[in-house]
Chain A
Amino acid sequence: MNVNLIDIMSLPFMQRALLGALITGLIAPSLGIYLVQRRMSLIGDGIGHIALTGVGVGLLTGTSPVLTAIGVSALGAVAVELIRERGRTSGDIALAILFYGGIAGGVFLVGLAPGKGSANLTSYLFGSLLTTSATDLVTIAILGACVLAVTVGLRPWLFAICQDEEYAKVSGLPVRALNLLLAVMTAVTVTVAMRSVGLLLVSALMVVPVAAAQLVSRGFGGTMTLAMLGGVISAGAGILVSAGYDTAPGATIVLAAIALFMLVAAVGTALRRRRRAEPAPATACDPPECVLDS
């Protein structure tokens, strides 16, 4: 199987698939960390639903589905952000209508498009890495660079608005503009990930590496770095496994990310247990963790 795998990975389309997957694995957690911090882990999933309507519009009008997906999902993400900003309880229902409307609209429009069957729909729902063309790869790279410029370049500001939005307001930060920027970048990330893991599994690659990273990290910057590393490892491992066993790359990447999470959780638990079992080191010279005062 090893020789086989090397043969497979020497094929240009597999190399493009690997590169596309690695870019997705890098950028999805860098954005997902802000969603997780806001307790909006599942929002990526919802934006993915909305993006499907964009795909439908693209297929129906004969324009690039990636571009229309970005446009429609960006509009959807802005709507989600405005609903969040209001903070009403009825917002929950509004989100449900938006998300299911998005996926239903997509399926409906794809059905109207001439000569586009359900096979085409599946490739957007679950990814179609193996058909990534050189042009697709350029698009993915450019969009990925935009996302990274925002998520890494503006980290202190985005951290501030996600950590404590009121404090950010009193600091005079352009909170609303930053929130909308984050929403639009969520839409862009979803669209990039649509090619690799598909719209239904986008959220996993945004959230699972972050969940794994925060099991072992101490700070926000550290979590972000580890999550991006975890995303890249999952994407790479997922592609190799899918090439070896001829499984769907998107689903395999997501399973690899979940396996990584479970591995980190298990190792972390074992380490903690061992630390507890060991006799405590001489505490005489260490300052106590906390002191109870009267």
Chain B
Amino acid sequence: MIRDNKFFIENPYGRWVRDNLFSSSSSAFLTFFAGFMVIYSYRGIVGFILNPERMWTSVTYNMKLYMILAYPDEAMIRVWLSVGLALLLGGLSIGFYNSGKTISLGGIFQKLFTISAVIALLIALAPTNTNVIQNDGSIEVVEIIPQDVRMLILGPSLVLTLAFFFLKNIKIKSLFNTAKVNLTYCGLIIASLYFIKIPTISLDSSGERIIPDPFLPIASTTYIPWTILYVGMLIFFFIGSLLKNRDIKIMARLIPIGWFLCPLFIFSWIFKKPLVELNTVFSADIPSILVFGIIGFLIIRFSDNQSLGAYRTPINIGFLVLSVVVFLLPVVFIFKATMVLLLLLLVVSPAIATTKEGKRQLFIVWVVSLFVLTFLIRGASSDTMLVTPTGSIFGGFSLTWLLAIFGTYASFPLGLALALGRTSTLPVIRIICTGIIEIVRSVPYITWLFFASVMLTVFLPSGVEFNLIIRVLILTAFFSGAYFAEYIRGGLQSIPKGQYEAANAIGMNPFQRIFLVIVPQALRAIIPTLVGSVITSFKDSSLVAIIGLFDILRIGTSVIPAQSQPVAFIGRNLEQLVFLSFFFWVFTFVFSRRSMKFEKRLGLGER
């Protein structure tokens, strides 16, 4: 009947239905079966969510706990500064890397049509009743969506669907930049904070619950910071666009470096006191920058000096011995750290500082890294000033982010080093790297977590003990580093031998060959795998609940279901699980969609 019906042959929609859903009798069966399953589960989920037994205020009331655990209120500005830094950088990047892709008004209406049609369909399919289990074990049927409410939502959404259906065919030539359209969507979300009301609970000054619960705008305390940050993001978007139009090349380097340094700044802002003791700055930091700046300048200046050629080996060995001596001497730590950096410069400079331009650039890099190093060491060595009632600063979603970002961030260079080491021709390095990779990868993550929490203290000298979160971070870096190493090795092996030979043929040294020819191509080939592993580490971070850290999952499953005061949320764990699964889904979904676009831009899979 479908095969011969005129509608299913001539109408484009009808033909789509015939070709995709009912092309044969078996596919028609599959369509019905799958459709039944989807609708059945959807009705079940809606019935569960709208069940009068559920108490969703347990989620909304505890939102701050979910996000930052017990981060002190008076220090909240640090959290906002961190979020703001990321957003401003994001705005700048969107503006600067704007691909100029456009979407027509019809295209926008096409999207809106799809969305409103889906909403109308979901409303129409939603169940009217659901089962509530009574205390005595009997089951009562309760109406959750009365007919009039359904009509009230269904009517407007159907009207909108029809309107968008006709609007999308209008031929209007005006085109909109996709980046701007997406920013507008973000703006709409922020604006919704002002008027969308989500039920939560409010208490009066004596801690008594105000009855009846007023419908408060969700996150009534956060919409002002969000608005400010959004405006800032818009400003930076336009600055980025301006810089792109002016064709300022330096930004193409500064933005990635900014993204690279951003987590470090955020870490020091959230965790440390931003206190600078001028005494140490003048007595240790500035002299060290000056002294090492001059030494670095001399190294760069004379690195290709022919008359020094004979003395190069003695000079290198001399610096090595000197740095070992400095490391053992009781000097300020910053000298020790900079000494290591200097050794690296000594190794790198003959390869880069071959021309006048190269020397100039290397010197800039050297001075910048001296400043960065000094800043980091000062930041990391100051005590945290924050005192929280639970004794732990990190918890909830901020801990999840910390583990996911730091896991990726620290494990990437580690994985790269391990992968290069594993493919090295030097047996010692190869065996050590292979050993690390194989040992780390062959033991489950949970076991390593227990190792970090319980056994690591046994291996460390007595009296030495450091924060559990730092232990877990180091371990996470190693664990994902080992996996990254294997992915990167796969990428390295996909590079044809001709690339190595070509690099050799034009006279590149090993350093240049690896970092200018091989690694960029290898990384490009494995981006989808890396994204997958980042998503995995984001989800895996909830495992740290096992060793007693308050991650978002532990807050949802143990902490909130135990609250009896001021509002009793005892036993409300199902709501938390539903919320958490939705929450994780949103983040991983957005992330994977963005990475797909990124892959497309790089042209992966097209050659």
A and B from one assembly?
no
Binding site for A on B (CB under 8 A): none
